[in-house]
Structure 1
Amino acid sequence: MTVANGSEPKDAESSTPQPGGTPNRPEPEGPRMSELAAGYAEKAGLHRNSAGHVDMLKSAGGVQGIAESIFPGLVFLVTFTVTRDLTPSLIAALAAAAIFTVARLIQRRPLTQALAGIVGVGISAWLANTTGKAEDFYVLGFFTNLAYIAAMVLSIVLKWPVAGLLFGFVRNEGLEWRKDPERLRAYKLGTWIVVAVLALRLVVQVPLYFMGEAGLTALATTRLLMGAPLYILGLWVAWLVTKPGAQPSKPSSSEA
């Protein structure tokens, strides 16, 4: 007999009263950690489709979420290319981010993603306005990528790879995958794939940033292409790489 989450039932002696009349109770740490993993996956924007697989488009925020991540930067680039003036370009980018926030208010949808977007655009605009360099509009993204890389590498070192926390929730594995060395290795590899995606952004974009205004168009273009589209691709590859192998069928009691 198995329980709902697919794990093996506890030993019968776990409920046997011990001297003193107090039964051994299962430690609550496992269920608590499973709930934390599920919450982390949901906050990270990971979603299951009806077939139980990762919904890649929805995980990237859906069409509206992708537009929210792309449009302000695109508006900034187009406006600056036309006007060669930093101030109206920054105002246009902020206005584009604000429009999405208002749209979510009207739709009565969660504001978390839109507010994070407008705060990010606001900080980017402040940096560019402070230095007077258009390319500094993209500096914040470099530090964000570095922070994510550091967090994911740390998760691998601690044997809590982020891919396992995310995909384990989607696959209803809970935290059982940590007990299987093969599954743990697979989720470490999946996390390294996401790290590689983030590192590739830096490898391509940082040299363009140091080219100054001459590299601005290429920097902005690669930022758009290597944003949500590359993230979805990396997520899909990581999902395929961490797919569990086929489980051998157990013989029935009549065959034993």
Structure 2
Amino acid sequence: MSTPEQPDEARQDLNSLAGQYASRAGVERREDGQIDVLKSVGGVRGLAEAIVPGLLFTLLYTVGAELNVSLGAAVAAAAVFSVANLIQRRPLMQSLTGVAGVAICAFVALRSGDGATYFVPGFYLNGAYILAFLISIAVKWPVAGLLFGAIRGENLDWRSRPVRLKAYIWASWIIVAVFALRLAVQLPLFLADNVAALGTMRLAMGVPLYALGLWLAWVVSRPSAIVPETAGGTASTFVAGD
């Protein structure tokens, strides 16, 4: 037989899961309530890990180096970051994800013999993100709400407030636009086999564009005072921290 406490326990479990998801996503905010964009993308180390391998590959390949040399440099750079993370006892998943991603890109390029295919796994990854975000919007569990709601202390209460739900849906659309814009710009460059331009756009539209999209999503979904009417006709005020 169910007890009155069970719904509350289930709600607490859901809130806990949402908090864990937000924590693993790495999104953080500053003491002033604004999103800490730099920390949310991994700090200076995270920027370097995301940029250096692709930058090395693009530079070496476009100046005429052999494909194997260019790919080797990219994988070696990712491996150095991974080893440094392990030495500093950072989470194992964080340590291995970067080198695994670069290794997959290198494997695809080696199999095809075409440097442009180094960037193909990224297209699939962006497509997967778009699909995941669209599904979350369709079922009214927008990913932006799961990310930001826990950080703002709203937990999952935003789902029962139409205004907040709509705000997080719009915020999710902004991040979808980031992934879609990457594909719209980079796919034609891939089809044109323009590795230099493709590599440049991949770097410019990687972490920097994602950081901008994350900041815009945070601003768009910023909560304001909500004054719902109570059963007795009085009003109560809810203000979530920005």
TM above 0.5: yes
1:1-256 → structure 2 map (5 Å cutoff): 24-27=4-7, 28-212=9-193, 215-247=194-226
Say if 1:23 and 1:155 are closer, same or farther in 2 by CA, change over 3 A. Answer: closer
> What CA distance in whole angstroms lies between the structure 2 residues aligned with 1:151 and 1:111?
25
The Cα shift of 1:103 comes to 1.3
RMSD: 1.9
Say if 1:155 and 1:55 are closer, same or farther in 2 by CA, change over 3 A. Answer: same
The Cα shift of 1:108 comes to 2.3
The Cα shift of 1:23 comes to 6.0
> What CA distance in whole angstroms lies between the structure 1 residues aligned with 2:235 and 2:110?
69
1:83 match: secondary structure: coil
C-alpha contact 1:124 1:138 (8 A) present in aligned 2: yes
C-alpha contact 1:152 1:162 (8 A) present in aligned 2: yes
C-alpha contact 1:54 1:170 (8 A) present in aligned 2: no
C-alpha contact 2:62 2:195 (8 A) present in aligned 1: no
2:32 match: secondary structure: coil
The Cα shift of 1:44 comes to 1.2
The Cα shift of 1:198 comes to 0.4
> What CA distance in whole angstroms lies between the structure 1 residues aligned with 2:52 and 2:6?
50
2:231 corresponds in structure 1 to none
> What CA distance in whole angstroms lies between the structure 2 residues aligned with 1:170 and 1:51?
13
C-alpha contact 1:73 1:220 (8 A) present in aligned 2: yes
Aligned identity (percent) is 50
C-alpha contact 1:97 1:114 (8 A) present in aligned 2: no
> What CA distance in whole angstroms lies between the structure 2 residues aligned with 1:31 and 1:62?
31
Q: Which runs of 4+ in 1 moved over 3 A?
A: 247-252
1:195 match: secondary structure: helix
> What CA distance in whole angstroms lies between the structure 2 residues aligned with 1:98 and 1:90?
12
Structure 2 residue identity aligned to 1:246 = A
2:216 match: secondary structure: helix
Gaps of 5+ in 2: 229-233, 237-242
C-alpha contact 1:40 1:166 (8 A) present in aligned 2: yes
The Cα shift of 1:52 comes to 3.7
C-alpha contact 2:82 2:96 (8 A) present in aligned 1: yes
C-alpha contact 1:152 1:195 (8 A) present in aligned 2: yes
1:11 corresponds in structure 2 to none
Q: Which has the larger Rg? A: 1
Q: Provide the aligned length of Structure 1 versus Structure 2.
A: 230
> What CA distance in whole angstroms lies between the structure 2 residues aligned with 1:244 and 1:151?
24
C-alpha contact 1:53 1:171 (8 A) present in aligned 2: no
